[in-house]
Amino acid sequence: MALSRLASSSSRSADLLKPLCSAISLRRPISTDTTPITVETSVPFTSHQCDTPSRSVQTNAKELFTFFRDMALMRRMEIAADSLYKAKLIRGFCHLYDGQEAVAVGMEAAITKKDCIITAYRDHCTFVSRGGTLLEVFAELMGRQAGCSRGKGGSMHFYKKDSNFYGGHGIVGAQVPLGCGLAFAQKYSKDEAVTFALYGDGAANQGQLFEALNISALWDLPAILVCENNHYGMGTAEWRAAKSPAYYKRGDYAPGLKVDGMDAFAVKQACTFAKEHALKNGPIRGKSLSLVEAIKLTSSCSVCCAYMQILEMDTYRYHGHSMSDPGSTYRTRDEITGVRQERDPVERIRKLILSHDLATEKELKDIEKEIRKEVDDAIAQAKENPLPESSELFTNVYAKGLGVESFGADRKEVRAILP
Amino acid sequence: MLGIVRQKMLGQSLLKIRPAISVLRSYSSAAKQMTVREALNSALDEEMSADPKVFLMGEEVGEYQGAYKISKGLLEKYGPERVLDTPITEAGFAGIGVGAAYYGLKPVVEFMTFNFSMQAIDHIINSAAKSNYMSAGQMSVPIVFRGPNGAAAGVGAQHSQCYASWYASCPGLKVLSPYSSEDARGLLKAAIRDPDPVVFLENELLYGESFPVSDEVLDSSFCLPIGKAKIERKGKDVTITHGVGAEICASVVEESFAYLDAPVERIAGADVPMPYAANLERMAVPQVEDIVRAAKRACYRAVPLAAAA
């Protein structure tokens, strides 16, 4: 009797089912359950030149568990990278994303692999959300063959073109015009997809951003600029770098939305809204208008017809700017622990899962244990993976080398025909 | 041994060989040791103290004490009007620096690395380098652009490029590449005092290196002449220079062909973007054994790579 009730009913009432749940493992039905659950975002959205999306977000148990698992995985991965860097297995620069996981996970939930994402150098988790594996991450960080860039890129240069993830960029701000270029190509190819170009509060003042924004608005490109505002550009707080740190308003004529970036559902809602706006008001709509209609339309609503928009994600990084930065000379430890206690994105989902009785604390801890093992296994595998072959020095300089010669440090001794 | 170890870390083309023994002979046994970082910091401090027109501008130079701690203590000493933290906007703040130099101030603009100077290169060349010429001498530009250049350790393709030959090709710029603490101190002081735009190429891997410095070097009036190379060690069999290899080779062949007993050799960075993997990075950057091999070839005592392996 009880079992059939369990099998048929997808919602759980606390009293009856809890004791049974601990006796019988009900893992599978709960985590694939797609019965709608409505959650409220932490705070309402703030908008600039557009309407706000609703605070009520549709989700389900399956998505809640996916969010929890994905963010917990990212969290564990970044913490493991910290240890590897201190053990000198990772060299050079290493910029960690722990605290910001909700942006990567929420965005991915709102889009498809046809949509493009481009970001700066804090790219490990974005790579994973686009389908990258832990082995590819750790092997690349350690400069091994199994890395996503075969060991030649390093931490700041992860790519996954088959999932429309375009990197992984070291020069602050450069990824924004590049992202607008991706959007240009999507419109040009009539692809009905959009590009999310991510940048930080430090990059938000870059001139090239405004140049790209101007062109994107002028040419109606399906570009969505996403400012991951973690409030510090390396060691400089936003109020010391920007006259106006209201980044969602900085697009002037471009609509903007301010989002709680620590709330994966707020991120998902905002990205869904932005994508719809870009596609509905952009290339597809333009296609169905006659020339006269189009001219009338653009002249009558000069302000709100920009398809490209800005999403400002209010987020936070627990680590310093990079592993070379302690992160505590320009912020107080109280601030860091305060954010961790009040706004941690993983904890937020944990509380939602528990409050909706979708799992027990122990079950969630077990998931985290599994994740820990997954991460440890990937690291062990990556450590065994070999360094690139010497011949890799000269591969991929060009896509097509035309038989030209290239030289090593000693021109007489090390030379190669570029493949 | 110490000298040779130091060479290994430089990512430039032909390097100076500087055996520790001959260095110790040159100075008294009570010589003070100074790191390149200390040398640069003290040079900046002294020049800012001597001339109120000198100011420092760049990312994290003030409150953070400098991304590489080169400007440590300067904000406290000179205040926020003379030590300015900029947003991450190289084109903007380099242009602002050049404008201030037009007006007669003496800016020191720091690039966190010279890779980021590419965002500002229009101002460095078109606004700074060419102005004195285009204005027939009215607009001198007493600015210094400084920061780490070239290879570091494992920072990848976008953070490892050497800009020496790029900037050295631009008439109107003075391009300096100091090695030791003495070089760093004397040349930075000279650069700040110079009425022309100077590109001052440091290297991150040298910042922590210690060199002995004499009392003369420590004096606040110490200054080195710009445009004169230092003979680190005299000899008669082979000459090893460091820096813009192609230009030096061409000049030597053009001017001194009759003096040459052997063709000129070049050791330089590999013709590839800098790879991240440690083994590939090592192959992309000149190593001591490359220099030794080339020197022996020039002396007709060649030992090929394959034989040595």
**What is the per-residue pLDDT across A147-204, written as a single tens digit (0 to 9) for each?**
999 999 999 999 999 999 999 999 999 999 999 999 999 999 999 999 999 999 999 9
Which of A32-36, A361-365, B199-203 is the least confident region? A32-36
Please tell me the predicted confidence (pLDDT) of residue B31: 78
- With beta carbons under 8 A apart, name residues in chain A contacting B297: 412
Please tell me the predicted confidence (pLDDT) of residue A29: 52
Q: How many domains are there within chain A?
A: 2
Shared domain check, A203 and A57: yes
Shared domain check, A396 and A331: no
User: Which residues constitute the domain of residue A107?
Assistant: 36-284+302-388
**pLDDT tens digit sequence for B95-122:** 999 999 999 999 999 999 999 999 999 9
B20 shares contact with chain A (CB less than 8 Å)? no
Q: Of B89, B116, B266, which is closest to A171 when you measure between CB atoms?
A: B116
Residue A233 lies in a domain: yes
Rounded to whole angstroms, how far apart are CA atoms A376 and A77?
A: 9
Shared domain check, A410 and A332: no
Residue A331 lies in a domain: yes
Is the bond leading into A261 cis (omega within 30 degrees of zero)? no
Shared domain check, A317 and A408: no
Please tell me the predicted confidence (pLDDT) of residue A386: 98
Q: Tokens in use for A212?
A: 């790209």
Residue A41 lies in a domain: yes
Residue A4 lies in a domain: no
Please tell me the predicted confidence (pLDDT) of residue A287: 38
B90 is an active site residue = yes
Shared domain check, A404 and A355: no
Shared domain check, A143 and A75: yes
* Catalytic pick among B47, B90, B202, B204: B90
B75 φ, ψ to 5°? Answer: -65, -45
**pLDDT tens digit sequence for A108-118:** 999 999 999 99
Q: Pick from A412, A414, A415, A417 the residue to mutate for testing the B interface (most B CBs within 10 Å).
A: A412
Residue A99 maps to which CATH number? 3.40.50.970
Shared domain check, A240 and A168: yes
Q: Of A154, A388, A393, which is closest to B156 when you measure between CB atoms?
A: A154
CB atoms inside a 10 Å sphere around CB B287: 16
Rounded to whole angstroms, how far apart are CA atoms A84 and A71?
A: 20
User: How does residue A22 score in pLDDT terms, banded at 50, 70 and 90?
Assistant: very low
Residue A2 lies in a domain: no
Q: Tokens in use for A103?
A: 């942006």
List, in order, residues 6 or more apart from A412 with CB less than 8 Å away.
B265, B294, B297
- How close, in Å, is residue A396 to chain B by CA atoms? 9
Shared domain check, A407 and A375: no
Mean pLDDT of B191-211: 98
Q: Which of A407, A385, A412, A411 is nearest to A394 (CA)?
A: A407
Per domain, the residue ranges of chain B are 33-218, 245-299
CB-neighbour burial class of residue A252 (10 A; exposed 0-12, middle 13-18, buried 19+): middle
Which sign does the torsion angle of CA A258, A263, A269, A273 carry? positive
A171 shares contact with chain B (CB less than 8 Å)? yes
- With beta carbons under 8 A apart, name residues in chain B contacting A143: 154, 276-278, 280
Closest residue on chain B to A242 (Cα): B87
- With beta carbons under 8 A apart, name residues in chain B contacting A240: 63, 85
Mean pLDDT of B211-227: 96
Mark yes or no for CB contact A152/B280 under 8 Å: yes
Question: For B33-218, which CATH class?
Answer: alpha beta
Residue A26 lies in a domain: no
- With beta carbons under 8 A apart, name residues in chain B contacting A151: 275-277, 280
Shared domain check, A412 and A355: no
B281 is an active site residue = no
DSSP strands (E only) in chain B: 32-35, 54-58, 83-85, 106-110, 144-148, 174-176, 198-202, 210-213
- With beta carbons under 8 A apart, name residues in chain A contacting B277: 143-144, 151-152, 387-388, 392
Shared domain check, A163 and A99: yes
Mark yes or no for CB contact A408/B64 under 8 Å: no
Shared domain check, A262 and A365: yes
Mean pLDDT of A25-44: 79
Residues in chain A: 419
Note whether B181 and B35 are within 8 A (CB).
Answer: yes
Shared domain check, A356 and A231: yes
Question: For B245-299, which CATH class?
Answer: alpha beta
CB-neighbour burial class of residue A233 (10 A; exposed 0-12, middle 13-18, buried 19+): buried
- How close, in Å, is residue B248 to chain A by CA atoms? 16
Instruction: Please check whether the two domains, B33-218 and B245-299, share a CATH topology.
Output: yes
Rounded to whole angstroms, how far apart are CA atoms A285 and A279?
A: 8
Mark yes or no for CB contact B284/A393 under 8 Å: yes
Is the pLDDT confidence value at A58 over 90?
A: yes
Give residues 191 to 250 of B whose Cβ lies within 8 Å of A: none
Residue A307 lies in a domain: yes
More confidently predicted of B304 and B216: B216
Residue A336 lies in a domain: yes
